[in-house]
């Protein structure tokens, strides 16, 4: 059970680091404090965490991946390694979203 908390926390910290890299401090703070919501044992909170992670895959990681790959292709630089790394980040975030399933039931035991 503890590994679910660690994976979800790491996914949000990774998202916060991404925002911090682009000087979006407010979004970084929000992303880094989202795992604290796991202390509230309610199904709505779990759904909020899951939706936030899923939306971050679509609107943050996928958009960033396409923009960076486009930039690399335009500059005639290698882009395959970038695509593999970003795919790993997206899969990790999707796995973290999957880990929120039934989290509140497991925290009670």
Please write down the HEC assignment for all residues of 55-106.
HHHHHHHHHHHHHHHHHHHHCCCCCHHHHHHHHHHHHHHHHHHHHCCCHHHH
Q: Rounded CA gap, 13 and 94, in Å?
A: 14
Q: Which of 68, 109, 59, 107 is nearest to 86 (CA)?
A: 68
* Predicted local distance difference test score (pLDDT) of residue 104: 63
pTM above 0.85, yes or no: yes
Select, from the ranges 41-55, 73-87, 89-103, the one with the highest average predicted confidence (pLDDT): 73-87
**Percent helix, strand, coil in the chain (nearest 5)?**
85, 0, 15
- pLDDT band for position 43 (50/70/90)? confident
Average pLDDT estimate for 15-38 = 96
Q: Are 32 and 39 in contact (CB under 8 A)?
A: no
């Amino acid at each position: 059970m503890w590994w679910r908390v660690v994976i979800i926390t790491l996914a949000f910290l990774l998202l916060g680091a991404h925002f911090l890299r682009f000087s979006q401090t407010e979004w970084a703070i929000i992303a880094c404090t989202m795992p604290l919501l796991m202390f509230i044992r309610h199904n709505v909170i779990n759904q909020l965490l899951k939706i936030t992670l899923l939306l971050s895959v679509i609107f943050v990681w996928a958009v960033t991946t396409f923009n960076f790959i486009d930039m690399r292709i335009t500059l005639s630089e290698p882009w395959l390694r970038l695509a593999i790394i970003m795919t790993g980040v997206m899969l990790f975030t999707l796995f973290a979203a999957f880990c929120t399933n039934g989290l509140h039931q497991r925290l009670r035991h």
